[in-house]
Amino acid sequence: MSQLVGQPLWCYFADVTGKHKVFLCTSLALGSSVIFTMLYFESFLHLALVLGAGGLLSSGVNPMIDSATMACIEHHHISPNRYGHLRVFGEIQTHTHYLLTRFTFTVCIVSHTCSKKDGKH
User: What does the pLDDT look like over 49-61, one tens digit per residue?
Assistant: 888 888 888 888 8
Q: Let me know if 3 is exposed, middle or buried by CB neighbors in 10 A (0-12, 13-18, 19+).
A: middle
Q: What is the per-residue DSSP string for 54-78?
A: HHHHHTTHHHHHHHHHHHHHHHTT-
| 121 has pLDDT over 70 | no
Greater confidence (115 vs 28) lies with 28
